[in-house]
């Protein structure tokens, strides 16, 4: 078995991509919200079933600029706090901090690793301006409870939906919850544009600010209305997106087969706890997390990580360490986060992607089941 990584980006047939970029070469319009960008934006808006969508060069800048567009900093005169969780990719917390806001850490739930609404209200004070929960691994946050707490306190909710592309919760596209949702189209995500991202939003008043912020805040040839940056998705990446969107449903179906196989093979292993799947969520099978309880399993998460690596299988300690345990954010306010700490120490994400052969899944499960006694056939 050659090296198996935790993910392997989907790519279309080269000819399909060439057909899509031929008009870009012919037109010499390479970027700056050109025709391919606009076509792709419309197609994605339909696919995600959202009322507003703005494309970005990556998910991180999409989130940073969504925060900026909501002018959260202005509202709190530079002292605003944003509640999020320490169990996320560092991008979420950087996006808050880079907007001049203070991240406040809330614990997560043990069953789905998303923000725990029971722990939320105690962290809200007069400086709180927003909540940025994360749909971890494609598990959907308790959007209804978070929404009602937020509206009671007049707070904005922006979801980090980097893991949740194309999912629905109780039949609603996941990009419709809260004030906005960020999606990432990074190569390693379920749907990729090589690098890319988007903000889905409800209130049409944000269409123009988001559009201008990604292009230096330029309003028109003679007016610059905001301190923007450069976060435009170019025509080539948009073309990649158009190609990959044609295949996304097949990719998700193939991921489901991989996920089903893991669940079949690992469900009986003592000490291996699988993320329960819910009936009311249509999943994208973005990740395959396993929680390894060292007491019951007999070995630790790090043991499994190393054992898999010895066999050329590169799983990920995703997310480790918890972000309120790294020097940059250790001093940030928040509640106790024992669940986030525990999960970050015991979770491992296994390889999952559309082209992962089921025989490889069987081999990975064999290694995990054997608890260090695995012999190659």
Segment interacting with ligand PLP (CB under 6 A) among 149-157, 158-166, 327-335, 337-345: 158-166
* 186 part of the interface to ligand PLP, by CB under 6 A: yes
**Please, what is the minimum distance in Å from the beta carbon of residue 164 to ligand PLP?**
9
Comparing CB distances to ligand PLP, the nearer of 184 and 284 is 184
Rounded to an integer, what distance in angstroms lies between the CA atom of residue 195 and that of residue 241?
10
Q: Which of 108, 124, 134, 347 binds ligand PLP (CB under 6 A)?
A: 134
Rounded to an integer, what distance in angstroms lies between the CA atom of residue 3 and that of residue 6?
10
147: phi then psi, degrees, rounded to nearest 5: -60, -40
Using CB under 6 A, which residues numbered 57 to 116 contact ligand PLP? Answer: 58-60, 88-89, 91-92
Nearest residue to 179 (alpha-carbon basis) of 200, 197, 152: 200
Comparing CB distances to ligand PLP, the nearer of 169 and 297 is 169
Segment interacting with ligand PLP (CB under 6 A) among 76-84, 144-152, 155-163, 170-178: 155-163
Comparing CB distances to ligand PLP, the nearer of 104 and 162 is 162
Rounded to an integer, what distance in angstroms lies between the CA atom of residue 47 and that of residue 241?
12
Residues 135, 51, 255, 144: is their CA dihedral positive or negative? positive
Segment interacting with ligand PLP (CB under 6 A) among 56-64, 218-226, 230-238, 326-334: 56-64
- Strand-pairing partners, residue 56, are 197
What is the CB neighbour count within 10 angstroms for residue 15? 8
Strands (E), the chain: 52-56, 81-84, 102-105, 128-131, 156-160, 168-169, 172-173, 180-184, 197-201, 218-220, 223-224, 272-274, 281-282, 288-292, 347-350
Rounded to an integer, what distance in angstroms lies between the CA atom of residue 42 and that of residue 35?
11
Comparing CB distances to ligand PLP, the nearer of 47 and 318 is 318
Comparing CB distances to ligand PLP, the nearer of 36 and 162 is 162
Using CB under 6 A, which residues numbered 244 to 303 contact ligand PLP? Answer: none
Q: Which of 55, 93, 115, 162 binds ligand PLP (CB under 6 A)?
A: 162
**Please, what is the minimum distance in Å from the beta carbon of residue 353 to ligand PLP?**
15
Comparing CB distances to ligand PLP, the nearer of 21 and 187 is 187
Edge-first strand listing for the sheet containing 288-292:
272-274, 288-292, 347-350
Interface size with ligand PLP, residues (CB under 6 A): 14
Q: Are 84 and 119 in contact (CB under 8 A)?
A: no
Q: Which of 184, 192, 275, 344 binds ligand PLP (CB under 6 A)?
A: 184
Residues at the interface with ligand PLP (CB under 6 A): 58-60, 88-89, 91-92, 134, 160, 162-163, 184, 186, 197
């Amino acid at each position: 078995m050659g090296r198996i990584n935790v993910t392997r980006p989907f790519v279309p047939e080269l000819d399909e991509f060439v057909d899509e970029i031929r008009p870009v070469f012919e037109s010499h319009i390479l970027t700056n919200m050109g025709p391919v960008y606009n076509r792709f934006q419309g197609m994605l808006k339909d696919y995600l079933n959202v009322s507003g969508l703005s494309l970005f060069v990556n998910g991180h800048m999409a989130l940073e600029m969504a925060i900026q567009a909501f002018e959260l900093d202005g509202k709190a005169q530079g002292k605003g706090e944003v509640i999020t969780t320490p169990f996320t990719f560092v991008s979420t917390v950087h996006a808050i901090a880079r907007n001049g806001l203070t991240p406040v850490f809330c614990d997560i739930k043990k069953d789905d690793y998303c923000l725990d609404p029971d722990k939320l209200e105690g962290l809200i004070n007069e400086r709180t301006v927003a909540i940025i929960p994360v749909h971890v691994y494609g598990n959907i946050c308790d959007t209804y409870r978070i929404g009602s707490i937020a509206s009671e306190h007049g707070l904005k909710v922006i979801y980090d939906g980097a893991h949740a592309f194309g999912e629905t919760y109780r039949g609603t596209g996941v990009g419709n919850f809260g004030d906005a949702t960020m999606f990432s189209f990074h190569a390693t995500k379920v749907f990729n544009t090589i690098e890319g991202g988007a903000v889905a939003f409800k209130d049409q008043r944000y269409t123009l600010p988001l559009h201008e912020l990604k292009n230096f805040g330029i309003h028109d040839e003679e007016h610059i209305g905001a301190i923007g940056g450069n976060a435009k998705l170019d025509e080539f990446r948009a073309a990649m997106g158009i190609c990959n969107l044609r295949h996304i449903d097949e990719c998700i179906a193939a991921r489901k087969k991989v996920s089903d196989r893991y669940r079949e093979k690992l469900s009986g292993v003592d000490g291996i706890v699988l993320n329960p799947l819910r009936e009311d969520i249509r999943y994208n099978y973005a990740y395959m997390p396993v929680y390894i309880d060292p007491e019951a399993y007999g070995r630790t998460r790090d043991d499994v990580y190393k054992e898999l690596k010895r066999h050329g299988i590169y799983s990920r300690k995703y997310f480790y360490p918890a972000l309120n345990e790294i020097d940059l954010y250790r001093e940030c306010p928040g509640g106790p986060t024992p669940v986030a700490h525990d999960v970050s120490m015991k979770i491992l994400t296994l390889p999952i992607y559309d082209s992962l052969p089921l025989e490889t899944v069987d081999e990975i499960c064999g290694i995990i089941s054997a608890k260090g006694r695995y012999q190659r056939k």
